[in-house]
């Protein structure tokens, strides 16, 4: 369900139909326009094959990087290690790249060559221990990323380009892309040392709207390393790829999936539940984030099927464009509640109670992040007390970032993400080709749906709306809201 892809749109139509079948109200796909500087075309892979054909044959496990072009039929070329990061590198490789397939991932030493793959001595999947959950509780300054969460910004750029401004870096990257195309590079290969045992992790091209950009393929680290070792030993390597992708740059608008259960006595007041609907294309996006979307839908189904009378309206939002920077939820919040650049609340902002989000895989709920909202602690303590047979109900003041509750928290609305068992989310499935249905744990999913349904019901029926923090100051355009800069660049 890559944002705006045919699969994304088909999934949206399916969800809309299913929600209507369940009898929910105001079911619709609410359109939003992708930002002028962050357009998202429709893109999909229609065919891929790759292999080493000399000095011996080896099929290459790989997936084309999102929004990259295909090849002109089957192409074959000599593999070459080449790291091209600046003008000096362009001068060095000028005239040497025609017809080459370039391997350009760096190892832990910051150089080209085989990636270091440590022997795995820890379990790929795990649950939080009691001591780890206890470690989450200390009252750290809000903004510190909790273990298992994603608070705080990632490390800065390293290497020769570390001192460039974002604008300078963008211009350099465009120049490097043009250089590679003009020099006649056939395609580039990349790998990640996190991806061992056949797992590969990937993302998308920076220049999404350029239908002529170079083909790029993310391949498994083991296959990348075999090619790199041969090249290091001066053994010529010939590779062959046949990649076919489809672009549609005309329709860049996206949508969020919306459904409601109207409130009875306070229908203008609102409780929301949701998660992001889009995914990457390397697997099927099962844990990231079909799991969270399915749970939000199940919460709505449970509440509707039980015919529970709730004072406030319960609204579900499944967001598009989360992986490109929380775009769908930010567009929704801006349209309905407040524009973070001016921070002038709407009437809907005043009537808002809370938003609950799930986006950390398939692991069961172990607690909740307060996002610095200490006033919500006694409320959640009382709710978790009734669920002690299902969860320890750990409550931490800490923030966690990188997903759609930040869009709400960023304009002063109570937005919360649950603490979940890590399982194999970060080690195996997050943005990988192994993010597939088989990694979903049904008992954990059932537990999450029950707990989130209870939270939503309680929020919709308690006498008061949930307490909220002060309205933050206006945020300059392009900055993330509260919770860290990672949200401005992309999501979970």
Give tens-digit pLDDT for 401-455: 999 999 999 999 999 999 999 999 999 999 999 999 999 999 999 999 999 999 9
For the sheet with 238-248, list strands across it: 58-59, 42-54, 238-248, 74-81, 100-103, 187-190, 216-219, 62-64
The predicted-structure confidence for 468-490, as pLDDT tens digits, reads as follows 999 999 998 765 443 333 333 45
Instruction: Annotate 130-191 with three-state secondary structure.
Output: HHHHHHHCCCCCCCCECCCCCCCCCCCCCHHHCCCCHHHHHHHHHHHHHHHHHCCCCEEEEC
Longest dimension (CA), the chain: 76
Does the pLDDT of residue 77 top 90, yes or no?
A: yes
pLDDT of residue 344: 95
Does the pLDDT of residue 143 top 80, yes or no?
A: no
pLDDT of residue 170: 87
d(CA 183, CA 176): 10
Tell me how far CA of residue 97 lies from CA of 51, 83, 153, in angstroms. Answer: 20, 12, 36
Over range 213-238, report the average pLDDT: 97
Q: Which of 287, 335, 256 is nearest to 16 (CA)?
A: 256
Cross-strand bridge partners of residue 52: 58, 239
Does the pLDDT of residue 222 top 50, yes or no?
A: yes
d(CA 24, CA 451): 20
Q: In 3-state terms, what secondary structure has residue 299? A: helix
Over range 209-225, report the average pLDDT: 95
Q: Which of 287, 322, 302 is nearest to 434 (CA)?
A: 287
Domains of the chain: 6-40+252-489 (3.40.630.10), 47-120+159-246 (3.50.30.30)
Question: CA geometry: angle at 355 spanning 351 and 361, to 5°?
Answer: 170
pLDDT of residue 160: 61
Q: What is the DSSP string of 67-122?
A: T----SSEEEEEEEE----SHHHHHHHTTS-TTEEEE--B-TTSSBSPPP-----S
Q: Using an 8 Å Cβ cutoff, are 190 and 228 in contact? A: no
Does the pLDDT of residue 152 top 60, yes or no?
A: no
Rg (alpha carbons) of the chain, rounded to whole number: 24
Q: Using an 8 Å Cβ cutoff, are 46 and 213 in contact? A: no
Task: Please state the length of the chain.
Answer: 492
139 confidence band (pLDDT: 50, 70, 90): low
pLDDT of residue 484: 36
* Range with lowest mean pLDDT among 9-18, 204-213, 458-467: 204-213
């Amino acid at each position: 369900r890559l944002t705006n892809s045919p699969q994304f749109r088909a999934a949206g139509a399916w969800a809309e139909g299913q929600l209507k079948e369940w009898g929910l109200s105001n079911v619709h796909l609410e359109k939003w326009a992708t930002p002028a500087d962050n357009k998202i075309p429709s893109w999909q892979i229609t065919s891929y094959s790759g292999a080493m054909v000399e000095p011996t044959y080896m099929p290459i496990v790989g997936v084309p990087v999102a929004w990259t072009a295909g090849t002109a039929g089957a192409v074959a070329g000599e593999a070459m290690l080449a790291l091209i990061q600046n003008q000096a590198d362009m001068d060095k490789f000028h005239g040497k790249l025609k017809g080459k397939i370039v391997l350009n991932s760096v190892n832990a030493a910051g150089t080209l060559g085989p990636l270091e793959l440590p022997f795995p001595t820890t379990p790929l999947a795990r649950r939080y221990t009691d001591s780890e959950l206890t470690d989450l509780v200390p009252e750290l300054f809000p903004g510190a990323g909790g273990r298992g969460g994603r608070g705080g910004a990632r490390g800065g750029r390293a290497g020769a380009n570390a001192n460039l401004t974002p604008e300078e870096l963008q211009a350099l990257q465009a120049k490097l892309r043009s250089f590679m195309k003009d020099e006649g590079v056939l395609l580039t290969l990349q790998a990640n040392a996190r991806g061992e045992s056949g797992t590969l992790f990937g993302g998308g091209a920076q220049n999404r709207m350029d239908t002529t950009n170079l083909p790029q393929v993310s391949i498994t680290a083991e296959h990348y390393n075999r090619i790199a070792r041969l090249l290091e030993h001066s053994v010529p390597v010939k590779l062959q790829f046949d990649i076919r992708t489809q672009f549609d740059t005309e329709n860049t608008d996206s949508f969020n999936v919306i459904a409601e259960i109207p409130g009875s006595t306070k229908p203008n007041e609102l409780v929301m539940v949701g998660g992001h609907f889009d995914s990457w294309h390397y697997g099927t996006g099962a844990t990231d984030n079909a799991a969270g979307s399915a749970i939000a839908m199940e919460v709505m189904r449970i509440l509707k099927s039980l015919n529970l009378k709730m004072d406030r309206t319960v609204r579900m939002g499944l967001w598009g464009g989360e992986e490109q920077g929380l775009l769908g939820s930010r567009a929704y919040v801006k349209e309905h509640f407040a524009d973070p650049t001016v921070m002038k609340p709407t009437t809907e902002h005043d009537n808002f109670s809370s938003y609950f989000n799930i986006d950390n895989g398939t692991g069961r709920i172990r607690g909740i992040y307060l996002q610095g909202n200490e006033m919500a602690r006694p409320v959640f303590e009382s709710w978790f007390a009734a669920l002690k047979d299902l969860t320890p109900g750990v409550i931490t003041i800490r923030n966690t970032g990188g997903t759609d509750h930040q869009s709400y928290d960023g304009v002063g609305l109570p937005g919360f993400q649950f603490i979940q068992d890590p399982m194999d989310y970060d080690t195996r499935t997050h943005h990988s080709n192994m993010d597939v249905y088989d990694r979903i744990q049904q008992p954990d999913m059932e537990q999450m749906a029950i707990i989130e349904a209870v939270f939503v019901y309680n929020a919709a029926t308690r006498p008061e709306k949930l307490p909220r923090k002060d309205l933050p100051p206006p945020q300059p355009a392009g900055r993330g809201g509260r919770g860290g800069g990672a949200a401005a660049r992309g999501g979970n």
